[in-house]
Structure 1
Amino acid sequence: MSQRQPHDTLPREGDFDLVSLLPSLCAWHGEHGHDTDDASRSPRAVRERMNIEIQALESLMSGDEDRLRLSDLARWLEENITRLEPLLRARNTMLLPESWAHANPRSRLLDEGRVLVANAIDRDLDGAGVDGPLDPASDVASLLVGLEIRDEGRLSHQALDGYLRISGDYELPRLLPVFRVIECLSGARRALRRREEAGDDEQPALLAETMSACRRYLDLAEYHTEFRFPPLVIGVGVAGSGKSRFTRTLVSRLGAIRLCSDVERRRLHGIHPQEKKGDVPVDIFFDAATEKTYHRLAKCAGALLDAGLPVCIDGTCLKREQRDLLRHQAEGRGLPVLLISFEADEATLERRITKRAARQDVLAEESLAILARQREAFEDFSDEERLLLVRLDTTADNAAEILAGLIQEHVR
């Protein structure tokens, strides 16, 4: 699933932010996933948890409208679990004996000192499925729903993008709608259970509060059942052009998943994405490695688009063949695609590269030589590409806003 974490130790308890939580979560999933001879175990476990949550929630509901919404969600879940059974069976090798939260019951998720979740991924430690077997997507969905229900959409986007970049598990998002809906039902059940636990006394304020919380979870569940037409954004540009900086903004603003050519190139050679750049022991930039890298980027982009997620490619994409390979992943699915040429004047490029070289403790001359080779290797855009092309001056003060606006307009 993923390479073992390069760190000697990872926190198991206490306070986390996303930067420390995601490596811990990925490490747990990578180290504790195990194989099973029972091919139906994963689909069966998902159905069992779905049925437990639906029956429990139904017993707590009193309104016909809420029961109808629950019935519609139950039908959607059954249809989609059936559709995803082949993928669930194929992932039997990843089944976990227990949730990360079960092993870290006293964890908390913080953001800039604020406590967001008391149980860092917001799992119900007393609920069904927490002690396995479960797919890693269940833990990830719990974290995402926990952030979304608290109106922390920016952090939810960053969490999914970061988890996928570290784990390399780009098939997982296809399961997320199902697991997100189940986690929403769990949250709705917990909300209604608070009223039941308060006793039989008439408490109008508590009734209003719990019903409001329950319906927010139902609203979120229904949102995750909607079909989407996600765009593919292909970043094009030489070193220092601003690709990485500006594509990172698309994660928070648009909920895009950023596929980085340098990350996937390293992963193909067995190098963990969080390994320090100076520790890379082999030459991974020869032509055959570059070709394999772009084929992997295309495969991962296709999987993410199938999951309904916007995708942003962070790579130089200097060759038309590379851009066509990526572009066809969206066009073959009838999805929108946009080419963004990240551009800056020569002096700016050289200044950025020199600063980066100093930060990474490498020779500026070597980095500038790479820039020269990239300029020479760049193949100009074809007439067909120009129909999809936007040129972005990354030295402009409002470049990030321009980029997000252009993508949103193109999708519309």
Structure 2
Amino acid sequence: MAEHKVEADQSQALEALLDPAAYPHPVDRVERVITHISQVFLAGEFAYKVKRAVSLGFVDFSTLMRRRFYCEEELRLNRRLARPLYLDVVPITRLEDRVQIAGAGDVIDYAVRMRRFPQESLLSARKLDGQLIDRLAERVAQFHLSLTPAPPDSPYGEPDAVLAPMLDNFGPLRRALVGDAEPQDLLLQLTRLERWTHNRFRRLRGQLEARRREGAIRECHGDMHRGNIVVIDGEPLIFDCIEFNASLRWIDTISEIAFLTMDLAEAGEQALARRFLNRYLEVTGDHGGLAVLRFYQVYRALVRAKVCAIQLSQQAEAGGDQAGPRAAIGHYLALARTCSGRHRPQLFITHGLSGSGKTGLGHLLREHLPIIQLRSDIERKRLFGVPEQHRPQAHQSQQLYSAQATERTYRRLLELADNLLGSGFSVLVDATFLRRDQRAPFLALAQQRRCPYRILVPEAPIAVLRERVRARYADGQDASDADIDVLELQLARAEPLTAEERRFALFLDTEHPLQIESVLARIVGKECNQTHSE
């Protein structure tokens, strides 16, 4: 009861901030946005975010000092990814009956002052495109790479600490659904998801611990979804991170990716979710995180459902409309169920000369199929610590493209493909695969994994290949370092597919832009797509 009174007193005082005269700058009108843990006042050029005096278990803003501390934390943490938006922390004061921002009198609360932006600039409100998603993936990847791993003796990332907030989702959801007029189906889904969470945790416990030891636990954003990303001058800024609970912020970086990809898929942008994931992996090389990706995606969908359950309870107490939050709970439970599913993984490799369109084909397919593209150009450079788009000097090229380096690169691609297939992900290995001894281990892997296997063979006239290679090399914006001399050497040394290999081959004319529907139909409809002999 005391907590309710504190929040009621705070809410009554904050009503004064709806008056434009409460601000030390010109304001025509004030708009207010209320969430389950904050009130945001949109006033003139600025937004003032005030923490509600609530204590919900995972967050405690019940005292003035706590609210001040977390305002300062919010400023510190959000300046990492959205410095232009976050300005300062300001006091809310009261002198007699007058409440103001940074006025005279006693300090009664605090607010984070932010630069206001148009709501249509939010990712959740605007049309998305591939180039923007690429920039976002690169920004998030570089952010994660810049973070310091949690100290080995910290509790963050310990398997039991990972499981605890996952299990915390189920209580509020079950309480919200019990008493509902039609709760049975949703309660059944919730029970199945709780059982799935326990079972997956038992299977993944060792991998979760390995992720912690390997430095995957870092001080992340914690709440990265479309509604917390704004595009300013063409660049994505990620704001409103979790400042109120360190254990929800010091997390596996792949948990952060799970939230954003889940959120994109929930919005019907599955192709862009796949594009984001692939580009993020190309930059970070964190393919090992895919083993726990779906585990975290289910968790993130259930977090969304729990927030809706909290809103449902608040609406019930206030006598408001409960239909929206109740429907949203069902929506996110269904999404969690989808994320918990698995598909039969497939292995694709390419076979083609430089400039034949292997990478473009991969980029096209990875937006329409649930596959991870492994580019030999990127993985080769990663092995030798060379930046993706760095053009090596002559002495570097001798090492980078030696026979030993090429052999090492194909071994690494095989290892990655094996791990990804084992984690339930389809793989497209994007390399020239000009020699039979390079291709044979991948067919053997598909046979061992008993998964469908295809060789994608993009083809174009030699004159077209030469033109493309010259243009790409001159542009210098791609990971490939192949020039015209490399192409001529490939022409002389390429070993054609054997009769056995041709059983798995799909030849694609890439002289002109590919029609994705036709390519997908041929992939799905290809008869000889199994790895066993008929």
Q: Contact between 1:234 and 1:340, CA under 8 Å: does it hold in 2?
A: yes
Q: Distance in 1 between matches of 2:245 and 2:272?
A: 25
Q: Contact between 2:217 and 2:253, CA under 8 Å: does it hold in 1?
A: yes
Q: Distance in 2 between matches of 1:235 and 1:343?
A: 11
Worse-matched range after superposition: 123-132 or 153-162? 123-132
Instruction: Name the Cα RMSD after superposition.
Output: 3.3
Structure 1 residues 166 and 190: alpha-carbon distance in aligned structure 2, compared to 1, 3 A threshold? same
Gaps of 5+ in 2: 1-79, 86-121, 124-131
3-state secondary structure, aligned to 1:237: coil
Q: Contact between 1:259 and 1:297, CA under 8 Å: does it hold in 2?
A: yes
2:138 to 3, 8, 23: 23
2:220 to 93, 99, 115: 99
Q: Which residue of 2 aligns with 1:3?
A: none
Q: Which residue of 1 aligns with 2:196?
A: 76
TM-score with structure 2 length normalisation? 0.67
Higher share in helix: 1
Return the letter of the residue paired with 1:69.
Q
Q: Which residue of 2 aligns with 1:262?
A: 377
Q: Which residue of 2 aligns with 1:386?
A: 502
Structure 1 residues 246 and 309: alpha-carbon distance in aligned structure 2, compared to 1, 3 A threshold? same
- Paired residues, what number? 394
Q: Distance in 2 between matches of 1:105 and 1:315?
A: 34
Q: Contact between 1:241 and 1:349, CA under 8 Å: does it hold in 2?
A: yes
Return the letter of the residue paired with 1:165.
E
Q: Contact between 2:149 and 2:216, CA under 8 Å: does it hold in 1?
A: yes
Return the letter of the residue paired with 1:405.
A
- Aligned-pair distance for 1:123? 7.0
3-state secondary structure, aligned to 1:32: coil
- Aligned-pair distance for 1:124? 6.5
Q: Which residue of 2 aligns with 1:89?
A: 209
Q: Which residue of 1 aligns with 2:93?
A: none
Q: Distance in 1 between matches of 2:151 and 2:408?
A: 28
Q: Which residue of 2 aligns with 1:58?
A: 174
Mapping 1:177-192, distance limit 5 Å: 177-192=294-309
TM-score with structure 1 length normalisation? 0.85
Q: Which residue of 2 aligns with 1:408?
A: 524
- CA deviation map 1:238-281 (0-9, x unaligned): 011111111110111113211000000000001233x4335797
Q: Which residue of 2 aligns with 1:306?
A: 422
Q: Contact between 2:371 and 2:427, CA under 8 Å: does it hold in 1?
A: yes
- CA deviation map 1:11-32 (0-9, x unaligned): 5545894333323322333332
1:130 to 228, 237, 248: 248
The structure with more radius of gyration: 2
Matched, 1:346 2:451: no
3-state secondary structure, aligned to 2:457: strand
3-state secondary structure, aligned to 2:356: coil
3-state secondary structure, aligned to 2:197: helix
Return the letter of the residue paired with 2:190.
L
Structure 1 residues 70 and 103: alpha-carbon distance in aligned structure 2, compared to 1, 3 A threshold? closer
Q: Distance in 2 between matches of 1:100 and 1:280?
A: 41
- Aligned-pair distance for 1:216? 1.7
Q: Identity of aligned pairs, percent?
A: 26
Q: Contact between 1:229 and 1:335, CA under 8 Å: does it hold in 2?
A: yes
* Bigger relative CO (Cα 8 Å, ≥ 6 apart): 1
Q: Contact between 2:275 and 2:366, CA under 8 Å: does it hold in 1?
A: yes
Structure 1 residues 219 and 97: alpha-carbon distance in aligned structure 2, compared to 1, 3 A threshold? same
- Aligned-pair distance for 1:141? 0.7
3-state secondary structure, aligned to 1:190: helix
- Aligned-pair distance for 1:194? 2.2
Q: Contact between 2:157 and 2:252, CA under 8 Å: does it hold in 1?
A: no
